[in-house]
Chains A and B, each alone.
Chain A
Amino acid sequence: MFLLETLIKTALVIAGLMTAAAYLVLLERWMAAWIQDRLGPNRVGIPLTRIRLFGLGQPLADGVKFFFKEEFTPSHVDKLLYFLGPAVMFTAAVAIFAVVPFGSVLPSEFGLEGMSRPIELVVAPGVDVAVLYVFAAGSIAVYGALLSGWASNNKYSMYGGLRGAAQLISYELPLGLGLVGVVLASGSLRLDVIIAQQAQSGAWNVALQPLGFLVFFVAGFAESGRLPFDLPETEQELVGGYHTEYSGVKLLLILVSEFLHMIVASFLIVILFFGGWHLWGVTGSGQEVTWPIALARVVVLLGKVLLTILFFMLARWSWPRFRFDQLMALAWKVILPLGMVNLVVLVVWVEYGAKMAAALGISNIAAMAAFGWGVFAASAAVVVWLVPGEPDNRPRRGPAWQLGPTDEEETPQ
């Protein structure tokens, strides 16, 4: 019975993810078009008819196109790694969803024989190290980028792979630091417990730990490799980055994995900081649910994820790409220290917070929110104070410009 339940949920998640990825590609193209004052894909409807359906048949057409395209393997690639790259990327991206809840629980009166406990809407329920698992599987994405970049035996791919590796590893640290705050505050590595805790108190983590949210949000953007952090595959500089040499189904796997990373990032942002399935007055907060509440929780969670994804897509056209040195400077000089501050502050809070709140005579939540926003404002002030006021983007005047060795750097005799 347990096996059957898991199989059904796995099938549901994989089918849902593939459909979602396909339609998110359509949504992405629509958003791109609308923002550029165009209409976007609106022609493809039901095949062999003239019914257009606002272009909702486009993902099907795209998929068919990908499968019928020539799958060309260049002669100069390292065959094994070339095939392994997309496979690793895709497997890791899908595997993450084993522990990501897509709802709360279904009611226990399911009407099935031997099914007395409520069904949790997650493929692998009750994994105690869910958060660690997500990060472990997410880190394997680096191998995908690196393997495909290296195996392609192409300068552009290689650059893309190197950039991808450097960027993903750099932003993994602040991502973890942003997360540790939430884990500390809730005392659990289980995503469902983290959601339940936010639902119970009614205060989402974004209101309690704004600094942690900022760190996690920026790092999450960078981890999913989306603009303004899409350095591994900048079309203008690197043709296609690490997937330059790929075509056909292998390219499809890489592109779908990238979308899956964005979906994972959105899920994590929503679950960790925006209360997961919780919405005041709609979804309730307890473990005992009825059918309408269970469905409402699924809808609320997926709705929040969709909104986050829409923001991802909007940001893509709103902000220009960072330069690579700016990207690294942001990670190591700004976001990582902020993450450290957040961690230390949360540790102090967990140790002394409740006592301080009791001494001041205010509720725990209010004290934590005040504390969090105070720290946020202070850190923002420090960052503003430390960042130079002049953007230094232009080439320097003076000797550095002159060709050949200058007085300062004499060639050794």
Chain B
Amino acid sequence: MKPDDPRVRWIDEPELGPLGRVYVPLATEGLATTLRHLFGRKKTVQSPEERYVSPAPLIYRGVHRLNRDSQGRVKCVACFLCATACPAHCIDIVAAESPWPDRDKYPESFTIDELRCIYCGMCEEACPVDAIELTSLYDLSGKSREEMIFDKEKLLAVYDMTKDAEPMRTAGVPEPRRKEDGP
């Protein structure tokens, strides 16, 4: 669309007052803003002495965890939706036949390369059983690349570590009854 297209709506800037023509109102406004902030409360967190605590941990996108169901088993059903959704291709799942009667598959191995991950949260969005979630842990570090590839045990351990502070998003929602459970 060109600038002289009739569909372009031109919005005129407001007329400047007599003082506005010599920068007075905007200059004082600018000085007032900086002065207010100069003496205002500071936002800096003195890390590492203080720790930043996310005001909304449930929507923070930090390190992943694999949730457990009420019986302590991994919730994941190895449907590969998260691995498919992942734009960074950092999730690797090996599926196997489930040893439990209420599902067909379970992940024999489930690894996430935390260095490759871009923390977009799409895996969380994709998961149909709320098995994978992003926690509010943000200061992840390791001494080697291998150490930063999280396997199933490590991801379950993250769940055990964070489940009290950050309950599962579906906590309190009863798990669906399945046909093998009987009436």
Q: Give the residue name and chain of the A residue nearest to B32 (CB).
A: A318
CA–CA, A35 to B27, complex, Å? 16
Q: Does B173 contact A (CB under 8 A)?
A: no
Which residues in A have their C-beta under 8 angstroms from that of B167?
A: none
Q: Does A4 contact B (CB under 8 A)?
A: no
B12 to chain A, nearest CB (A): 8
Which residues in A have their C-beta under 8 angstroms from that of B40?
A: 37
Which residues in B have their C-beta under 8 angstroms from that of A388?
A: 21
CA–CA, A370 to B3, complex, Å? 52
In the complex, the answer to whether B27 meets A384 with C-beta atoms within 8 Å is: no
In the complex, the answer to whether A318 meets B30 with C-beta atoms within 8 Å is: yes
In the complex, the answer to whether A318 meets B34 with C-beta atoms within 8 Å is: yes
User: Which residues A366-413 have CB closer than 8 A to chain B?
Assistant: 380, 383-384, 387-391, 393-395, 397-398, 401-402
In the complex, the answer to whether B34 meets A35 with C-beta atoms within 8 Å is: yes
**Interface-located stretch among B41-49, B57-65, B76-84:** B41-49
Q: Does B181 contact A (CB under 8 A)?
A: no
Which residues in B have their C-beta under 8 angstroms from that of A402?
A: 2, 4
In the complex, the answer to whether B10 meets A397 with C-beta atoms within 8 Å is: yes
Which residues in A have their C-beta under 8 angstroms from that of B53?
A: none
B21 to chain A, nearest CB (A): 4
Q: Give the residue name and chain of the B residue nearest to A38 (CB).
A: B44
In the complex, the answer to whether A37 meets B41 with C-beta atoms within 8 Å is: yes
CA–CA, A356 to B181, complex, Å? 109
Q: Does A67 contact B (CB under 8 A)?
A: no
* B interface: dominant SS: loop
> Given A37-B41, A387-B21, do A395 and B3 touch, yes or no (CB 8 Å)?
yes
CA–CA, A176 to B16, complex, Å? 31
Q: Which of B16, B21, B38, B44 contacts A383 (CB 8 A)?
A: B21
Q: Which of B3, B10, B22, B34 contacts A314 (CB 8 A)?
A: B34
CA–CA, A384 to B14, complex, Å? 16
In the complex, the answer to whether A397 meets B31 with C-beta atoms within 8 Å is: no
In the complex, the answer to whether B37 meets A34 with C-beta atoms within 8 Å is: yes
B125 to chain A, nearest CB (A): 33
A362 to chain B, nearest CB (A): 30
Which residues in B have their C-beta under 8 angstroms from that of A389?
A: 15-16, 21
Which residues in A have their C-beta under 8 angstroms from that of B56?
A: none
Q: Which of B16, B27, B39, B41 contacts A318 (CB 8 A)?
A: B27
B110 to chain A, nearest CB (A): 40
In the complex, the answer to whether A380 meets B22 with C-beta atoms within 8 Å is: yes
CA–CA, A314 to B34, complex, Å? 7
In the complex, the answer to whether B42 meets A317 with C-beta atoms within 8 Å is: no
> Given A37-B40, A37-B42, A393-B13, do A318 and B31 touch, yes or no (CB 8 Å)?
yes
B120 to chain A, nearest CB (A): 28
Q: Does B101 contact A (CB under 8 A)?
A: no
Q: Does B170 contact A (CB under 8 A)?
A: no
CA–CA, A400 to B46, complex, Å? 54
In the complex, the answer to whether A318 meets B37 with C-beta atoms within 8 Å is: no
In the complex, the answer to whether A397 meets B3 with C-beta atoms within 8 Å is: yes
In the complex, the answer to whether A36 meets B37 with C-beta atoms within 8 Å is: yes
Q: Does A319 contact B (CB under 8 A)?
A: yes
A97 to chain B, nearest CB (A): 29
Q: Mark A74-108, 1 if CB is under 8 A from B, else 0.
A: 00000000000000000000000000000000000
Q: Does A191 contact B (CB under 8 A)?
A: no
Q: Does B140 contact A (CB under 8 A)?
A: no
Q: Does A122 contact B (CB under 8 A)?
A: no
In the complex, the answer to whether B16 meets A390 with C-beta atoms within 8 Å is: yes
Q: Give the residue name and chain of the A residue nearest to B29 (CB).
A: A318
Q: Give the residue name and chain of the A residue nearest to B45 (CB).
A: A39
In the complex, the answer to whether A314 meets B31 with C-beta atoms within 8 Å is: yes
> Given A39-B44, A314-B31, do A387 and B22 touch, yes or no (CB 8 Å)?
yes
Q: Does B71 contact A (CB under 8 A)?
A: no
In the complex, the answer to whether A39 meets B42 with C-beta atoms within 8 Å is: yes
A164 to chain B, nearest CB (A): 23
In the complex, the answer to whether A391 meets B34 with C-beta atoms within 8 Å is: no
B48 to chain A, nearest CB (A): 12
CA–CA, A36 to B43, complex, Å? 9
Q: Mark A306-320, 1 if CB is under 8 A from B, else 0.
A: 000000001101110
Q: Which of A31, A319, A387 contacts B38 (CB 8 A)?
A: A31
Q: Does B35 contact A (CB under 8 A)?
A: yes
In the complex, the answer to whether B18 meets A318 with C-beta atoms within 8 Å is: no
User: Which residues A183-226 have CB closer than 8 A to chain B?
Assistant: none
Q: Which 9 A-B pairs have the closest CB atoms?
A: A318-B30, A387-B21, A39-B44, A318-B34, A384-B18, A37-B43, A401-B3, A318-B31, A35-B34
A residues adjacent to B (C-beta < 8 A): 31, 34-39, 314-315, 317-319, 380, 383-384, 387-391, 393-395, 397-398, 401-402
B residues adjacent to A (C-beta < 8 A): 2-4, 10, 12-13, 15-16, 18-19, 21-22, 27, 30-31, 33-35, 37-44, 46
12 additional contacts, CB 8 Å, given A394-B13, A402-B2? A35-B34, A37-B42, A37-B44, A38-B43, A314-B31, A318-B31, A384-B18, A384-B21, A384-B22, A387-B21, A389-B21, A390-B12
